[in-house]
Amino acid sequence: MALAGRRPFGRLLRTPPRADNSSPDVKAIIIGAGRGIRLMPTTADTPKCLAEVRGRRILDWTLEALAVNGIRRVAFIGGYRIEKVRQEYPALVFHHNTAWETNNILASLMCAEAEMDEPFLCCYSDILFTPEVASRAAASEDDIAVVVDTDWKARYAHRSQHPSGDAEKVTARNGAVTRIHRAIAEAEAHGEFIGVAKFSAAGARLLRDHARRFRESGLRERAFLIELFQEMIERGLRIAHVDTAGGYMEIDTQEDYELARRFWSRG
C-alpha cells in the first residue's frame, strides 16, 4: 500500500487550544461495548478505545476533544473487558452492556437511557475527532443533529479492509438528513455519519420514545443506531446535519489502526 506521503483523510481542522469553550451544560455518552474483531490482534485482550494512537489512547483523544469544549461529565457504555476501562478511568460514569456479544450499537446506547434526561452528545468509541468537531456538534441548535464528514471519500482511498460501501452515508436537503443508510449510492451521498450526534433535552426525549417504539415493534438486537435514525426520519422527525470536512478518522480494522498511527493529528 503506497501512501506516497499524502494525507489521505481530508483537511484536519485546526482548533486553537482552549478550555471550557462552549457547552458545560452538555454531557457525553461514549458507546464502547464491542470487542472489535476486525482490529485483532490489537483487541485480543483490551477494548478498542484503549488502543494507542501517537502515544495516546483513542479514549484520551475523545476525552480531550470533549473537555476542550467544557464537556467533562462523561458516561461510558462498556462490555468487553469493561474492567480495564474502569480501572484506568475511574472518573467516568459506567453503564454495563452485559449482552454486548449478541447486541449492537443501538441496544448498547440504550443501556445509558438513564443519562438521557438532559442535553447530551454521544459518540462511538472507535473514532478520532478534533475538538472543533465536538464544538460544532455541541453548538447545534437543533433538537437532534448528526455530524457528517463531507470529505469522506478521501479516507477510503487506502482502506482495502473497509470498503466505502460500508460507510454510514447520508443524503440531505435544506439542512436536514433525508436518508441515512449504507446502501446510498456514493454519488448521491452528502457525506458520511461519523458516529457523533447531539441531542437537546427535547431531542433526548424523542430518542428514548422512538427507541422504545422501535423495540416494541421488534427491535433486532443487532440493530445499528442509523436504523433508528432512519425510522425517525420516515416518521417525519427532523434530524439536522453538522458538517465537517475531515477532522475525523474511524478505526475499524488493523489497517485503519496503522493509518491512524501514521496520519492522525488534532490539527
- Cell reading at 257: 489502526
Domain that holds residue 185: 27-263
d(CA 221, CA 219): 6
Q: Is 158 exposed, middle or buried (0-12, 13-18, 19+ CB in 10 A)?
A: middle
Q: What is the mean pLDDT of residues 155-160?
A: 88
C-alpha to C-alpha distances, 68 to 97, 123, 135, 136, 176, nearest whole angstrom: 28, 16, 9, 12, 27
Helix (H) / strand (E) containing 113: none
Is 70 part of a structural domain of the chain? yes
CB 134 within 8 A of CB 121: yes
Beta strands in 33-187 (DSSP E): 52-53, 56-57, 74-78, 93-96, 120-124, 127-129, 144-149, 169-173, 176-181
Is 7 part of a structural domain of the chain? no
Is the predicted pLDDT of residue 242 greater than 90, yes or no? yes
Q: Of 147, 124, 125, 144, give the one whose Cα is nearest residue 134.
A: 147
Is 259 part of a structural domain of the chain? yes
Q: What's this model's pTM, rounded to 2 decimal places?
A: 0.90
Averaged pLDDT of the chain: 89
pLDDT at 215: 81
Structurally, the chain folds into a number of domains equal to: 1
Is the predicted pLDDT of residue 15 greater than 70, yes or no? no
Is 19 part of a structural domain of the chain? no
Is 76 part of a structural domain of the chain? yes
- Cell reading at 249: 478518522
Is 242 part of a structural domain of the chain? yes
The CATH number for 64's domain is 3.90.550.10
Q: How far is CA 10 from the centre of its chain?
A: 18
- Cell reading at 165: 460501501
Q: What is the mean pLDDT of residues 92-112?
A: 95
DSSP 175: T
Is 18 part of a structural domain of the chain? no
pLDDT at 265: 78
pLDDT at 219: 58
CB 29 within 8 A of CB 92: no
Q: Of 243, 10, 25, 236, give the one whose Cα is nearest residue 145.
A: 243
Is 6 part of a structural domain of the chain? no
pLDDT digits (tens, 9 = 90+) for 186-237: 999 999 999 999 999 999 999 999 999 888 876 566 789 999 999 999 999 9
